[in-house]
Amino acid sequence: MATTTRRARALLGVIFDLDGTLTRPHAIDFARMRARIGVPSSYTSILKYVNTLESEEARTKALDIVLEEEEAGLDRMQLNTGFDAVFSTMRDLQLRGAICTRNTESALERFRVVLEQEGLTHHASLFDPWLARDATCPATAQALQNKPHPDPAHATLRTWGMLLCDDTAGNTTDPSYEQKQEQPQPRHQLQHQLQATGEGTGVHDEEPAATHALSSRGTRGEGDVVQVQQQHQHMSTATTTAANTIAATTTTTTTTTGSTRVVQHSFHRQHPVLFVGDHIDDMVCGHSAGCLTCLLTNGEALSCERVRGVLASPQHEPVIDFVVDDGHELAQLMHALHTGDTTLLDTFAHPRDEHR
């Protein structure tokens, strides 16, 4: 096996969620949907809760409410802030794109209309596949489970030729999957060290959870290091075709009054693909499939309780690699992953500074 170090072509594709990611948030009133159905707060997925209802009548009634609220949201669908820049960056860097949504085919068709209204119809060709909640895998014709299950991401990787149809790494019937979600694999490892004059280490342990989860962005020093590796090897038909891996390490030294903080972000993923979404289920889906992940906050990192809770949760931290506020920042991150720009990778690495 030969290993080469490269900066260009490190990122090959981007998988997008639809509602609240490619489109502006709150077009669908999910709070109203949850209230009408009576979804407990312990369920992050409305559809997952609906599937637990015992009677067919109850499930049908709940799904009717889902469809009503989704239909109402179609008329309010708008392109999200800065995503014209995202599409231009994808073309400039020759990145592949895909859409994986828990919404319906009607929502995907409506998004095509939105692109047309924005004069961006030509960008529709950036995306393949377009996967709605009832989609089948284009490569296998098998029905897909919804996010947070990795099925949609695996289907995309197979469509792109990065994963073989019989690859055991993409086995969506893996009985250990649910167990893995309870204890996320620590592919994204973040180390914090704080040295302060007259103080010991471990300050983060005493900070509020929200502060801890948002506290690492700062001024970069000369010690920044990034290395993107792509591994090439001969592989049998029983193994993955995704010989390309993506790895990056950045080290940040931030000096404040009386203290020096050293933060190291280390990433290693099986696939040179970024999964972007505004929900924790998007992050779990992408992470479980071996992709880098990026949480889009839509500028609500501090104002939205749901977003704030996701960012502050130690349980969620292993599955979130990067955090951006809008499409403009996402375009910068995509470019940084492509070129190996250490400064930007560090800027957007999770956790981010709460005062940005």
Q: Which two tokens stand for residue 222?
A: 């000369």
Q: CATH 3.40.50.1000 in the chain: give the residue spans.
A: 10-23+78-170+187-356
- pLDDT score of 163: 87
Structure confidence by residue, pLDDT tens digits, 135-178: 999 999 999 999 999 999 999 999 999 987 766 444 433 333 33
- pLDDT score of 182: 38
- pLDDT score of 159: 95
3-state DSSP helix/strand/coil percent for the chain, to nearest 5?
A: 40, 20, 40
Distance from chain centroid for Cα 114: 23
- pLDDT score of 73: 85
Which CATH architecture describes the domain 10-23+78-170+187-356? 3-Layer(aba) Sandwich (3.40)
- pLDDT score of 356: 52
| Coil, strand or helix at 344 | helix
Element (H, E) at 64: helix 56-74
Q: Are the CB atoms for 329 and 320 separated by under 8 Å?
A: no
- pLDDT score of 34: 94
Print pLDDT tens along the chain (356 aa): 333 333 334 899 999 999 999 999 998 898 999 999 999 988 878 988 999 999 999 999 999 999 999 898 899 999 999 999 999 999 999 999 999 999 999 999 999 999 999 999 999 999 999 999 999 999 999 999 999 999 999 999 999 999 877 664 444 333 333 334 334 343 333 322 222 222 222 222 222 222 222 223 332 232 222 222 222 222 222 223 334 466 655 554 444 444 444 445 556 678 999 999 999 999 999 999 999 999 999 999 888 888 988 999 999 999 999 999 999 999 999 999 998 888 888 899 998 765 45
Q: Are the CB atoms for 159 and 139 separated by under 8 Å?
A: yes
Residue 112: how many CA atoms within 13 Å on its side-chain side?
8
| Coil, strand or helix at 2 | strand
- pLDDT score of 197: 25
- pLDDT score of 151: 96
Element (H, E) at 154: helix 151-159
Q: Are the CB atoms for 250 and 225 separated by under 8 Å?
A: yes
- pLDDT score of 248: 58
- pLDDT score of 212: 26
**What is the average pLDDT score of the chain?**
75
